[in-house]
Amino acid sequence: MFIATLLTNPARPVLDRVTVESLRNAWGGGDALWLDPGVAAEFPLQAMPANRWDVWQGLQGIGVDLVIQAAAGRRKQLLIADMDSTMIQQECIDELADEAGVGAHVAGITARAMNGELDFEEALRERVGLLKGLPEAVIATVIRDRITLMPGGKTLVATMKANGGTAALVSGGFTAFTAAIAAVLGFDENRANTLEIEAGILTGTVATPILGRAAKVQALQEIAARLGITPDQAIAVGDGANDLGMLGLAGAGVALHAKPSVQAECDLRINHGDLTALLYLQGYAREAFIA
């Protein structure tokens, strides 16, 4: 048994009954259940439709996401999330680089690294090197003035924790940012890289070992083992190539507004919804959300 979920951006609720019912009828699905009128609906299916990606592509054009997944076990006990361009709307290293006067150059490297065109560790070292000499105090300024939360993040974390879940923020970015973001959003723990600082000045180096793709997989495995669950009982979310390992290992790996190369390797793709999409995918209705 499978569940088909259709959803859209809660800020622009364009999902209508005709779209949902037409697709349900075409695929011979069961009764549709509205999780949030205008925003999210789901219906059961006996088999995976052969034309699902053609339909997915058509729905993208009207601002609607479509996800089809196994019905069993979709309510998860662990959320493991990337930070940059996932739980927040920026790439922290790009914002620091902008303060250092090398923003455009570093942003170009970041985009290529996140799309899998560059080795993550080498690209990180190169970018951090360009931050050499930046005052440590700039980090707090960037967090205060430049960083904005991705919509739905607080609700996602709060709702999963209220239902017995655990939330971990695992980033290829920096602990100076993850500690602050984890505290604001209510994550139980956070892991990231450490910028090396001497006498209040960034040295242009990052502590080793570098947390990249393999370390995110390791984090998922370690946290799941500690909780006494399997990775199948986790939902992971990210947007970059260094997230692909954990997205593939988790029971539900969600590519959220992800780079093209990342979307191509993920079955669960959210391009229009916000972070509350991860709740709809688990079958939570809007009235069950914790604000």
| 171 contacts: CB under 8 Å, gap ≥ 6 | 82, 83, 84, 177, 178, 190, 191, 192, 193, 211
Pairing of strands 252-256, 234-238: parallel
Q: Which amino acid is at 58?
A: G
Confidence of residue 227 (pLDDT cuts 50, 70, 90): very high
Confidence of residue 3 (pLDDT cuts 50, 70, 90): very high
Confidence of residue 79 (pLDDT cuts 50, 70, 90): very high
Structure tokens, 163 = 């239902």
| Contact (CB, 8 A) for 249 and 266 | no
pLDDT at residue 34 in the model: 98
pLDDT at residue 43 in the model: 98
Q: How many residues does the chain have?
A: 291
pLDDT at residue 219 in the model: 97
Average pLDDT in the 48-59 region?
A: 97
Percent of the chain residues past pLDDT 70, beyond the cut: 100
Place of tokens 């920096």: 174
**CATH code linked to domain 75-291:** 3.40.50.1000
Tell me how far apart the alpha carbons of residues 245 and 110 are, in angstroms, rounded to a whole number.
18
Give me the half-sphere count of Cα atoms (radius 13 Å) on the Cβ side of residue 120. 20
pLDDT at residue 129 in the model: 95
Whether residue 76 has pLDDT greater than 90:
yes
| 101 contacts: CB under 8 Å, gap ≥ 6 | none
Q: Which amino acid is at 216?
A: K
Dump pLDDT digits (tens) for 255-282: 999 988 999 999 999 999 999 999 999 9
Tell me how far apart the alpha carbons of residues 30 and 24 are, in angstroms, rounded to a whole number.
7
Average pLDDT in the 202-219 region?
A: 94
Place of tokens 């799309």: 115
Compute CA distances 4 → 14, 27, 52, 216, 280, whole Å: 17, 10, 10, 28, 11
Structure tokens, 147 = 């960083």
Structural domain boundaries of the chain?
Answer: 1-72, 75-291
Q: Which of 177, 193, 179, 191 is nearest to 125 (CA)?
A: 193
pLDDT at residue 178 in the model: 97
pLDDT at residue 25 in the model: 98
Whether residue 141 has pLDDT greater than 90:
yes
Whether residue 231 has pLDDT greater than 90:
yes
Tell me how far apart the alpha carbons of residues 255 and 21 are, in angstroms, rounded to a whole number.
26
Pick the more confident residue, 254 or 211.
Answer: 254
Whether residue 185 has pLDDT greater than 90:
yes
For residue 189, the surrounding DSSP H or E stretch is strand 189-193
- Please list the residues that pair with 174 across neighbouring strands: 193
Mean pLDDT (the chain, rounded): 96
Place of tokens 């199948």: 232
Average pLDDT in the 37-62 region?
A: 97
Whether residue 115 has pLDDT greater than 90:
no
The set of catalytic residues is 82, 84
Whether residue 228 has pLDDT greater than 90:
yes
CB atoms within 10 A of CB 156: 30
Dump pLDDT digits (tens) for 154-176: 999 999 999 999 999 999 999 99
φ/ψ of residue 255, rounded to 5: -85, 110
Tell me how far apart the alpha carbons of residues 17 and 65 are, in angstroms, rounded to a whole number.
15
Quick check: helix, strand or coil at residue 1? coil
pLDDT at residue 291 in the model: 85
pLDDT at residue 182 in the model: 98
pLDDT at residue 170 in the model: 98
Structure tokens, 247 = 């997205």
What is the model's pTM?
Answer: 0.95
Confidence of residue 132 (pLDDT cuts 50, 70, 90): very high
Q: Are 1-72 and 75-291 equal in CATH topology?
A: no
Domain 1-72, CATH 3.30.70 — does that match?
yes
pLDDT at residue 66 in the model: 98
